[in-house]
Amino acid sequence: MEKIVVGFDGSEQAKRALLKAKTIGEKFGSKIYVIHVIDTAVFSLSEAFTSPSVIHNLRQNAEKLIKEALAIVENADARILEGDPAYEIVRFAREVGASLIVIGSRGLSTIRRVLMGSVSSRVVQESPIDVLVVK
Confidence (pLDDT) at 44: 59
Phi/psi at 35 (nearest 5 deg)? Answer: -125, 145
Contact assessment for residue 110 and residue 41, using Cβ atoms and an 8 Å cutoff: yes
pLDDT of residue 105: 87
Which H or E element spans position 17? helix 12-28
**Reported confidence tier of residue 47, pLDDT bands at 50, 70, 90:** low
Q: How far apart are CA 3 and CA 66, in angstroms?
A: 18
HSE-up of residue 126 (Cα within 13 Å, Cβ side): 18
For 53-95, write each residue's pLDDT tens digit: 777 888 999 999 999 999 999 999 999 999 999 999 999 999 9
The domains located in the chain, with CATH, are 3-134 (3.40.50.620)
Quick one: pLDDT at residue 112?
A: 46
Q: From CA 59, how far away is CA 62, in angstroms rounded?
A: 5
Q: Mean pLDDT lowest for which of 45-49, 50-54, 110-114?
A: 110-114
pLDDT of residue 41: 72
Q: Mean of the per-residue pLDDT values for the chain?
A: 88
- Spell out the residues 6+ positions from residue 114 whose beta carbon is closer than 8 angstroms to its own: none
CA 105 to CA 94: how far, in whole Å?
21
Are 80 and 62 a contacting pair, CB within 8 Å?
A: yes
* pTM confidence score: 0.88
